[in-house]
C-alpha cells in the first residue's frame, strides 16, 4: 500500500479489508458527557457516554466518509452507518455480516447475491433496502473526490448490470471472476447510507448512533440509535452517547486522557503508549496481526544499483528487524518478512523468515560491485515510528558498507508531491491492514506508480489467478506470487506496528466491533 | 500634514501592503511542493484521475488567472472553498477567528497594564536595580520560543499538579467562555511573551523620555516619583507605547498558531497549521490573508492612536 500521508493513512486505511481477529479485548474506560468520571449505570451494561479522541483534520473533516480520509471521519461514519460486514476468519464465510444475511457466490464466480436482514430501518423509520446498499457501493465511483477505496467495488463489480430483485436482494455481476468478493465487500468500511444522501447533519443513519452535534475540527456528539440492532446482540448498542473529539497529536490525546478530559485515546505513538503502560490508571491495548500497519522502504528500480537482484537482497538482509521492534516499539510490534499483510488469510506464512545477515549482505554487494554505493533514504513523520525505524535502517546500511544518509522531510511533505516521491531512489512508506492479493492489485501490480518501477506481468497474472480461483489452486498461485515478491521484490518491510489505544478502566467491547483500527463502538459498554 | 491627509496616506499604504502580502501568500503557496491533487486524489490515483481532480480544482489554469480570481473573490468577501472538507473558507474563518480573537484580547488585557507599569518602573530609573531586574527578566522570557514557554507552563500548572486542563477542549456546541479554565494556559503563554516584548519597548522609550531636559527640569522643580511618571513621562511615552502594543498585538495573533497547536485550542492558528499539513491551499491562503489584514488593521489603528496621543500633535490633553 503505499505512499500515504497522515490523511491518506486513513484514506487508504479505509481499504482495510480488515481481516481476522481483533486484538485482545480492548480497553476499559468509562465516561460521561462532560464529566471527568463514568456515570453510574442502572443495569451495569447499558448507559453512559464515552468520550474518545481521534486524529482529525480541522475544517477538512466531513460527514461524507466517501471523501473524508481522517481517522475521525471513519470512526464517526462507522458509528453512524451500519456496515455490510467485517472480516472474521472464525465465521463460516470468513466474514461477520452487518446489515447482510448472506452473500451467495455464483459457481462460475460471475455474480454475487447480497441478501439483507429483514426489517432493517434507518433512524427516521424508513426501510433500509437493496437500493440503499447499491447506492452506497456505486455512487462514490462517479465522484472524482471519492477516496480510492470507495472506488474499489466498481473495479471489481459491474454496477451497470446490477439487479435489485426485491427490497432485500441485490445481485452484483463481477467484471472478471473473483473468489474473494466477500472479503472485498465486508471490509468494515463499506457502510450503508440512505440512497441519495447529501450527508447533511440531519441525514437518517443506519448505524448504532445518530448525530446530535458536529463541529469539524472540534468533535461530534452522538446518541444511541434505537432503530439499530445487531443479529447477535439484541440490546446493543449499549452506550447512551458517544462524544468523539478531534485531537491531532498523539501526546495531546494522551494528555487529555491523563487529565480526565477523555476516556479513550486512539492511535498512540510508541513512546506515549509505553509511558501510559506504566500508569495503573489506564489500560493500554494494541491490535494484533492482521490489524497492523507496515513500515517499509521501497527501492526504486529506475535507480541503477537496484536493478541487480543481489543489491536488493543485500538491502533486505541488512535490516535488523528485531532491533527495530525492540528499540522503537518496545517489543510491541511484529517483525516483517518483506511481504505485506501478515495475518490475513491470503498472506503466505510458509515463506521462511528473512534473517538479519549483514555478512552475506556485504558479500552480495561486493559481488554486484555495489559496495560503497551512496544512497539517501527519504522519510518523514507520517505515522508514529516511521522516522525512528528509518534512522535505524540507515545505520544498518552503513554497517554493510553502504554510504547511506537519511533525508527526513517535515510532516506532511513526503507524499505531497507524488511524482517527485515516485522518483526517490529509496523511499519510506507505510501500509494499512489490507489482504495481500487485493493490496497487490491496488497499489503494486500493473505498473502502479507507487511500486517504484516494479513491472512483472507474470506476478500480476499469478495474483489474478489466485483471486479468480479458490481452494488449493488459489493458495498455490498466491504463494507463488509472494515467493517471487520475497525473492525479487523491491520492498523491505521490516516492521508491522499495531494501532495502540489507551483508556480509563471500565470500557469493554471496543474490539468486538472487529476492524480494530477504526472502532465503531456498536458493542462497547461501560461498567 | 493635516489629519485627513495622514489617515488617507496610511489607508493607501495599508491597502498596498495588503495587495503585496496577497501576492506573497499566493506565491508562497504556489512554491509548496506538490499540489492539492496528491492530497485529494490519493496516492493510488491514476493519471486520468489526477487530471480530473486538477481540472475540478481549477489547477489546470495558469497562476496569474488563479491569483486574479482569488483576489477578486477576496474583495467580494469570497475566499474560496477548502479542497478537502469543501467548506467555504469564510465559514471556517468565521467559526475559528472569534476563538483566536478572544485569546488575543484576554492576553492583551493582561499584557497592557503589566507592561506599562513594569516598563515605566524600569525606564524611570534606567540602570537602577529595578531596571536591571525587569530588563533581565524580560530578556530571558523574550528569548524563549513560545512552544518552550507553553511547555513549561503545561508542566508547571497542568501535567504535574493537575490544576488546569492540558488540552483546551471547547465544549461541543458551546464557546470557550463556557469552560474558562481551558483559556488560562493559552492566555498565560501569550501574555507572558507579550509582556516581555512590550515591557522592553516601553522601558526603552520611557528611559529616553526620562533623560530629556524637560523631565530634568520637572525633577528640579521637585516633581518626582509617581507624579513625575504619570504626569510628565507617561503622556509622552503613550504614543510609542501604543505602537509597541500594536506590534505585540500582531505578534499575539501570529503567536496563536503555536499556542493553539500546543494546547489543541480550536482557533484560526490551529486551523492554519492543519491546512498547511493537508495542503489545503485555499484555506491556507484565506486564513493567511485574514491574519495579515488583521495585523495591518491593528498597526494602522495604533498609528492613528499614537498620533492622536502625541502631545506635540495636540491630540493628548
Give CA–CA dist B116/B108, Å, rounded: 12
Q: What is the pLDDT of residue B311?
A: 64
- Topology of domain A3-79+207-287+500-526 in CATH is D-Maltodextrin-Binding Protein; domain 2 (3.40.190)
- Write the DSSP assignment of A101-147 as a string of letters: EEEEE-TTSSEEEEEEPTT-B-TTSPBP-HHHHHHHHHGGGG-TTS-
Q: Pick A99 or B274 by higher pLDDT.
A: A99
φ, ψ of residue A113 to 5 degrees: the values are -110, 120
Residue B313 has pLDDT above 80, yes or no: no
- Of the given ranges (A275-284, B1-10, B130-139), which has the lowest mean pLDDT? B1-10
Which residue in this structure is represented by grid cell 458527557?
Answer: A33
Q: What is the pLDDT of residue B42?
A: 63
Q: What is the pLDDT of residue A68?
A: 79
Q: What is the pLDDT of residue A136?
A: 96
As given in the structure block, the three cell numbers for residue B207 are 528611559
- Closest to A506 measured CA to CA, from A75, A40, A22, A78: A40
By the 8 A CB rule, do A157 and A173 touch?
yes
Report the residue of chain A nearest B50, measured CA to CA. Answer: A144
Best residue of A144, A248, A438 to probe chain B, by most B CBs closer than 10 Å: A144
Nearby residues of A235 by Cβ (< 8 Å), 6 or more positions away: A45, A46
Distances (CA, A) of B309 to A137, A499, B67, B243, B270: 68, 60, 40, 11, 36
Residue pLDDT, tens place only, B43-79: 556 677 778 778 877 888 888 898 898 889 888 989 9
* Chain B contact set for A34 (CB, 8 A): 171
- Write the DSSP assignment of A307-361 as a string of letters: GSHHHHHHHHHT--HHHHHHHHHTT-SEE--S-S-TTSTTS-TTSPPPP--HHHH
Indicate the Cα dihedral angle B178, B180, B182, B185, nearest 10°: 160
- Complex ipTM: 0.78
Q: What is the pLDDT of residue A514?
A: 78
How many CB atoms lie under 10 A from the CB of residue B39?
Answer: 27
Give CA–CA dist B113/B111, Å, rounded: 6
Give CA–CA dist B180/B41, Å, rounded: 41
Phi/psi region, residue A109 (left: phi>0; alpha: psi -120 to 50; beta: rest), is: left
- Cα distance from A15 to chain B (closest Cα, Å)? 12
- What is the pTM (predicted TM-score) of this model? 0.82
Indicate the domain borders of chain A: 3-79+207-287+500-526, 85-185, 293-497
Residue B187 has pLDDT above 60, yes or no: yes
* Chain A contact set for B60 (CB, 8 A): none
Q: What is the pLDDT of residue B44?
A: 59
CATH number belonging to the domain at A85-185, selected among 3.40.309.10, 3.30.450.20, 3.30.365.10, 3.90.76.10: 3.90.76.10
From first to last of its 527 residues, what are the pLDDT tens digits of chain A? Answer: 333 334 444 444 333 333 322 222 222 223 333 333 333 343 447 889 999 999 888 888 889 998 877 889 999 999 999 999 988 877 888 889 999 999 999 999 999 999 999 999 999 999 999 999 999 999 998 877 777 778 888 988 999 999 999 999 999 999 989 888 898 899 888 999 999 999 999 999 999 999 999 999 899 999 999 999 888 887 889 999 999 999 988 889 999 999 999 999 998 989 999 999 989 899 999 988 888 999 999 999 999 999 999 999 999 999 999 999 999 999 999 999 999 999 888 899 999 999 999 999 999 999 999 999 999 999 988 888 899 999 999 999 999 999 999 999 877 778 777 778 889 999 999 987 888 998 898 888 888 888 999 999 999 999 999 998 888 999 999 999 999 999 999 999 999 999 899 999 988 888 888 777 788 899 999 88
Domains with residue ranges and CATH for chain B: 3-75 (no CATH), 89-313 (1.10.3720.10)
Residue B234 pLDDT grade (very low, low, confident, very high; cuts 50, 70, 90):
confident
B163 CB near a chain A CB, below 8 Å? no
Give CA–CA dist B159/B152, Å, rounded: 10
Report the residue of chain A nearest B165, measured CA to CA. Answer: A259
CB pair distance less than 8 Å for B172 and A221: yes
Q: What is the DSSP letter of B176?
A: G
Report how many Cβ contacts below 8 Å link chain A to chain B.
158
**Shared fold status for A3-79+207-287+500-526 and A85-185:** no
Residue pLDDT, tens place only, B110-127: 998 999 889 888 988 888
- Cα distance from B43 to chain A (closest Cα, Å)? 6
HSE, CB side, 13 Å, CA atoms: give it for residue A450.
26
Nearest to A3 among B35, B43, B275 (CB): B43
* Chain A contact set for B56 (CB, 8 A): 144-145
Q: What is the mean pLDDT of chain B?
A: 84
Indicate the Cα dihedral angle A120, A125, A129, A135, nearest 10°: -120
Q: What angle do CA A364, A366, A370 make, to 5 degrees?
A: 95
- Cα distance from B69 to chain A (closest Cα, Å)? 22
HSE, CB side, 13 Å, CA atoms: give it for residue A217.
25
- Topology of domain A293-497 in CATH is Dipeptide-binding Protein; domain 3 (3.10.105)
- Of the given ranges (A112-116, B88-92, B159-163), which has the lowest mean pLDDT? B159-163
Report the residue of chain B nearest A419, measured CA to CA. Answer: B34
φ, ψ of residue A48 to 5 degrees: the values are 90, 160
Q: What is the pLDDT of residue A9?
A: 40
CB pair distance less than 8 Å for A448 and B44: yes
- Closest to B84 measured CA to CA, from B218, B273, B274: B274
* Chain B contact set for A58 (CB, 8 A): 85, 270-271, 274-275, 278
* Chain B contact set for A69 (CB, 8 A): 42
Strand ranges in A117-230 using DSSP code E only, listed in sequence order: 163-166, 169-173, 209-215, 219-224
Give CA–CA dist A442/A448, Å, rounded: 8
Give CA–CA dist A222/A244, Å, rounded: 8
Residue pLDDT, tens place only, B190-218: 999 889 988 998 898 888 888 888 888 88
Q: What is the 3-state secondary structure (H, E, C) of A347-389?
A: CCCCCCCCCCCHHHHHHHHHHCCCCCCEEEEEECCCCCCHHHH
CB pair distance less than 8 Å for B277 and A59: no
* Chain A contact set for B171 (CB, 8 A): 34
Give CA–CA dist B162/B165, Å, rounded: 7
Q: What is the pLDDT of residue A147?
A: 78
- Closest to B18 measured CA to CA, from B71, B82, B58, B61: B71
As given in the structure block, the three cell numbers for residue B163 are 490544576
By the 8 A CB rule, do B252 and B108 touch?
yes
How many CB atoms lie under 10 A from the CB of residue A42?
Answer: 7
Best residue of A59, A250, A258, A265 to probe chain B, by most B CBs closer than 10 Å: A59
- Closest to A500 measured CA to CA, from A283, A189, A202, A339: A283
Helices (H), A221-265: 250-258
The β-bridge partners of A299 are A426
Amino acid at each position: 500500500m503505499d505512499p500515504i500521508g497522515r490523511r491518506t493513512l486513513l484514506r487508504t486505511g479505509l481499504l482495510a479489508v480488515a481481516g481476522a481477529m481483533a486484538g485482545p479485548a480492548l480497553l476499559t474506560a468509562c465516561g460521561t458527557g462532560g464529566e471527568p468520571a463514568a456515570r453510574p449505570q442502572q443495569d451495569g451494561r447499558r448507559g453512559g457516554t464515552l468520550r474518545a479522541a481521534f486524529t482529525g483534520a480541522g475544517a477538512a473533516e466531513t460527514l461524507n466518509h466517501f471523501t473524508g480520509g481522517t481517522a475521525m471521519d471513519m470512526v464517526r461514519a462507522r458509528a453512524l452507518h451500519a456496515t455490510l460486514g467485517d472480516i472474521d476468519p472464525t465465521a463460516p464465510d470468513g466474514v461477520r455480516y452487518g446489515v447482510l444475511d448472506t452473500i451467495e457466490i455464483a459457481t462460475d464466480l460471475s455474480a454475487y447475491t447480497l441478501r439483507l436482514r429483514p426489517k432493517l430501518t434507518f433512524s427516521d423509520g424508513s426501510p433500509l433496502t437493496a437500493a440503499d446498499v447499491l447506492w452506497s457501493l456505486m455512487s462514490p465511483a462517479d465522484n472524482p473526490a471519492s477516496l480510492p477505496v470507495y472506488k474499489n467495488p466498481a473495479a471489481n463489480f459491474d454496477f451497470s448490470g446490477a439487479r435489485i430483485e426485491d427490497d432485500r436482494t441485490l445481485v452484483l455481476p463481477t467484471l472478471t471472476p473473483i473468489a474473494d468478493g466477500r472479503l472485498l465487500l465486508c471490509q468494515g468500511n463499506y457502510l450503508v447510507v440512505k440512497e441519495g444522501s447529501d450527508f447533511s447533519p440531519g441525514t437518517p443513519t443506519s448505524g448504532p448512533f445518530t448525530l446530535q452535534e458536529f463541529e469539524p475540527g472540534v468533535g461530534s456528539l452522538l446518541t444511541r440509535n434505537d432503530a439499530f440492532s445487531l443479529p447477535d446482540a439484541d440490546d446493543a448498542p449499549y452506550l447512551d452517547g458517544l462524544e468523539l473529539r478531534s485531537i491531532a497529536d498523539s501526546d495531546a490525546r494522551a494528555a487529555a486522557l491523563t487529565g480526565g478530559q477523555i476516556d479513550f485515546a486512539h492511535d498512540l505513538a510508541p513512546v506515549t503508549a509505553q509511558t501510559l503502560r506504566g500508569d495503573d490508571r489506564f489500560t493500554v491495548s494494541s491490535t494484533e496481526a492482521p490489524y497492523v500497519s507496515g513500515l517499509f522502504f521501497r527501492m526504486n528500480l529506475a535507480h541503477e544499483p537496484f536493478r541487480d537482484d543481489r543489491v536488493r537482497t543485500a538491502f533486505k538482509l541488512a535490516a535488523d528487524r528485531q532491533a527495530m521492534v525492540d528499540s522503537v516499539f518496545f517489543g510491541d510490534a511484529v517483525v516483517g518478512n518483506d511481504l505485506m499483510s501478515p495475518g490475513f488469510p491470503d498472506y503466505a506464512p510458509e515463506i521462511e523468515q528473512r534473517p538479519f545477515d549483514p555478512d552475506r549482505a556485504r558479500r552480495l554487494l561486493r559481488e554486484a560491485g555495489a559496495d560503497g554505493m551512496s544512497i539517501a533514504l527519504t522519510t518523514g513523520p507520517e505515522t508514529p515510528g516511521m522516522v525512528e525505524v528509518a534512522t535505524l535502517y540507515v545505520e544498518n546500511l552503513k554497517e554493510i558498507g553502504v554510504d547511506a544518509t537519511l533525508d527526513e522531510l517535515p510532516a506532511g511533505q513526503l507524499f505531497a508531491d507524488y511524482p517527485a516521491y515516485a522518483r526517490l531512489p529509496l523511499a519510506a512508506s507505510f501500509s494499512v491492514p489490507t489482504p495481500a492479493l487485493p493490496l497487490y492489485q491496488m497499489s503494486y501490480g500493473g505498473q502502479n506508480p507507487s511500486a517504484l518501477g516494479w513491472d512483472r506481468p507474470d506476478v500480476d497474472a499469478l495474483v489474478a489467478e489466485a483471486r479468480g480461483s479458490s481452494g488449493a489452486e488459489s493458495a498455490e498461485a498466491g504463494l507463488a506470487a509472494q515467493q517471487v515478491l520475497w525473492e525479487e521484490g523491491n520492498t523491505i518491510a521490516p516492521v508491522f506496528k499495531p494501532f495502540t489505544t489507551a483508556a480509563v478502566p471500565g470500557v469493554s467491547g471496543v474490539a468486538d466491533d472487529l476492524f480494530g483500527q477504526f472502532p465503531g463502538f456498536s458493542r462497547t459498554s461501560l461498567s | 500634514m493635516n489629519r485627513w491627509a495622514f489617515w488617507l496616506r496610511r489607508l493607501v499604504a495599508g491597502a498596498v501592503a495588503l495587495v503585496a502580502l496577497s501576492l506573497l501568500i499566493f506565491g508562497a503557496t504556489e512554491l509548496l511542493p506538490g499540489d492539492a491533487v496528491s492530497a485529494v486524489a490519493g496516492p493510488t490515483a491514476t493519471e486520468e484521475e489526477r487530471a480530473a481532480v486538477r481540472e475540478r480544482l481549477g489547477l489546470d489554469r495558469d497562476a496569474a488567472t488563479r491569483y486574479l480570481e482569488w483576489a477578486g473573490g477576496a474583495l467580494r468577501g469570497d475566499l474560496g472553498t477548502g479542497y478537502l472538507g469543501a467548506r467555504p473558507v469564510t465559514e471556517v474563518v468565521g467559526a475559528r477567528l472569534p476563538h483566536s480573537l478572544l485569546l488575543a484580547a484576554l492576553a492583551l488585557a493582561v499584557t497592557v497594564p503589566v507592561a506599562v507599569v513594569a516598563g515605566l518602573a524600569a525606564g524611570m530609573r534606567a540602570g537602577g536595580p529595578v531596571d536591571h531586574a525587569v530588563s533581565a527578566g524580560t530578556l530571558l522570557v523574550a528569548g524563549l520560543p513560545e512552544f518552550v514557554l507553553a511547555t513549561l507552563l503545561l508542566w508547571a500548572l497542568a501535567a504535574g499538579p493537575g490544576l488546569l486542563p492540558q488540552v483546551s477542549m471547547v465544549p461541543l456546541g458551546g464557546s470557550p467562555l463556557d469552560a474558562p479554565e481551558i483559556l488560562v494556559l493559552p492566555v498565560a503563554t501569550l501574555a507572558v511573551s507579550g509582556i516581555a516584548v512590550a515591557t522592553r519597548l516601553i522601558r526603552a522609550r520611557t528611559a529616553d523620555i526620562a533623560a530629556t531636559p524637560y523631565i530634568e527640569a520637572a525633577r528640579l522643580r521637585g516633581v518626582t516619583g509617581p507624579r513625575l511618571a504619570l504626569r510628565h513621562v507617561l503622556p509622552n511615552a503613550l504614543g510609542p507605547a501604543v505602537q509597541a502594543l500594536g506590534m505585540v498585538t500582531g505578534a499575539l495573533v501570529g503567536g496563536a498558531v503555536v499556542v493553539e497547536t500546543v494546547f489543541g485550542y480550536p482557533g484560526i492558528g490551529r486551523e492554519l497549521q492543519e491546512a498547511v499539513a493537508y495542503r489545503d491551499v485555499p484555506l491556507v491562503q484565506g486564513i493567511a490573508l485574514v491574519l495579515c489584514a488583521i495585523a495591518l488593521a491593528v498597526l494602522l489603528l495604533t498609528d492613528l492612536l499614537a498620533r492622536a496621543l502625541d502631545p506635540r500633535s495636540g491630540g493628548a490633553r
